């Protein structure tokens, strides 16, 4: 299934409005909104329902052990129950797209993408536990058949693995097997949620969307499988919608000699290489405003005009001083 992933892009584009540009440049943050509170809710619900249906079909077609049955039973509902803690920020491979300008706002921020070793922006991690959100940059999956193939691949791998008798010797009902089944179900639900969060309708394929998917990073050493969701609550903020703030990723995790433990580190600049201004009333006035914001908050970034802008300013380009 990994062979179906799109080629890693060199640049991705984030479309937004004037308020979004101001907020992103001044705070060096991008907001990722809860998948359960925006237009993606329908796709998340579709993915969760599709998973439950596939589990029902598989358990009817072939018998599974009592232990495997416990896991699959919980896995039917866990992704839906936990989807409110999945946060998404959208980017796409298309620059200077009229439809996206009209839908999201007349600004396109150009993000430079490094090799796929780590996401270029990430959600926070906690000091106390070393855990926080796991942040992944993933391409959207548009084809419904491919969505089913991905879920089938995950479920078939799980069921096949659990056939191994060396994994668990006791299959009867007991507090120990119930706790272990819960642990496995929550762990697998993490993978399911990363997958389902990528599902999009076929009609949006032309956008070639990529998503930052931020979800609670499961604490593998904890006996309390709900701990991670609780730990992440302190990072979740609410305005009209629930969101978490994404910031530039540290080049490498490291200790800073001489820095007092617990003190905040300086903000890292987002990897924005340019901003394109789409169709808008007074393009020259807006370009001046964007240039002023960049001079104050983010140096070395170019400003471009869209080909859909007025003829007077279509080819104009302002370079940073």
Q: How many domains does the chain have?
A: 1
237 φ/ψ angles, rounded to the nearest 5 degrees? -115, 160
d(CA 186, CA 267): 33
pTM of the model as a whole: 0.82
Among 15-19, 120-124, 175-179, which stretch is predicted with the lowest mean pLDDT?
120-124
- 213-259: pLDDT as tens digits: 998 877 666 656 677 778 788 888 888 888 999 888 765 555 555 55
Quick one: pLDDT at residue 232?
82
Query: What is residue 125's predicted lDDT score, i.e. its pLDDT?
Result: 61
Looking at residue 89, its pLDDT comes to 93
Whether 202 shows a pLDDT value over 50: the answer reads yes
3-state secondary structure 177-214: HHHHHHHHHHHHHHHHHHHHCCECCHHHHHHCEEEEEE
Q: How confident is the model at residue 174 (pLDDT cuts 50, 70, 90)?
A: confident
Say what the pLDDT of residue 319 is: 42
Section 198-217 average pLDDT: 90
Mean pLDDT to the nearest integer, 281-300: 83
Segments forming the whole domain that contains residue 251: 2-318
56-107 tens-digit pLDDT: 999 998 888 888 999 999 999 999 988 888 999 999 999 999 999 999 999 9
22 vs 310: CA distance, rounded Å = 23
Task: Give the residue among 14, 242, 38, 234 at the shortest CA–CA distance from 120.
Answer: 14
């Amino acid at each position: 299934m990994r062979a179906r992933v799109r080629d890693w892009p060199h640049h991705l584009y984030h479309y937004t409005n004037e308020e979004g540009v101001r907020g992103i440049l001044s705070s060096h943050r991008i907001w990722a909104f809860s998948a359960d509170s925006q237009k993606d809710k329908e796709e998340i619900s579709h993915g969760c329902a599709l998973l439950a249906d596939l589990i029902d079909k598989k358990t009817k077609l072939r018998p599974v052990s009592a232990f495997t049955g416990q896991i699959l039973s919980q896995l039917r509902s866990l992704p839906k129950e936990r989807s409110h803690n999945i946060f998404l920020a959208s980017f796409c491979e298309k620059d200077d797209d009229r439809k996206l300008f009209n839908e999201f706002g007349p600004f396109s921020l150009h993000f430079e993408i490094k090799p796929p070793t780590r996401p270029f922006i990430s959600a926070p991690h906690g000091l106390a536990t070393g855990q926080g959100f796991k942040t992944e940059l993933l391409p959207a999956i548009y084809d419904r058949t491919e969505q089913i193939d991905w879920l089938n691949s995950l479920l078939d791998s799980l069921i096949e693995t659990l056939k191994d008798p060396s994994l668990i010797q006791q299959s009867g009902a007991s507090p120990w097997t119930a706790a272990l089944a819960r642990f496995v179900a929550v762990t697998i639900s993490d993978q399911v949620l990363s997958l389902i969060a990528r599902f999009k309708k076929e009609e949006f394929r032309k956008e070639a969307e990529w998503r930052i998917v931020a979800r609670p990073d499961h604490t593998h050493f904890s006996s309390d499988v709900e701990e991670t969701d609780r730990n992440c609550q302190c990072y979740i903020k609410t305005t009209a919608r629930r969101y978490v703030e994404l910031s530039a990723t540290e080049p490498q995790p490291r200790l800073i000699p001489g820095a007092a433990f617990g003190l905040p580190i300086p903000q890292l600049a987002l990897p924005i290489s340019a901003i394109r201004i789409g169709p808008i009333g007074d393009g020259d006035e807006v370009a001046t405003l964007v240039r002023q914001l960049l001079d104050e908050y983010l140096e070395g970034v170019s400003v471009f005009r869209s080909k859909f802008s007025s003829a007077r300013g279509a080819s104009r380009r302002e370079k940073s001083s």
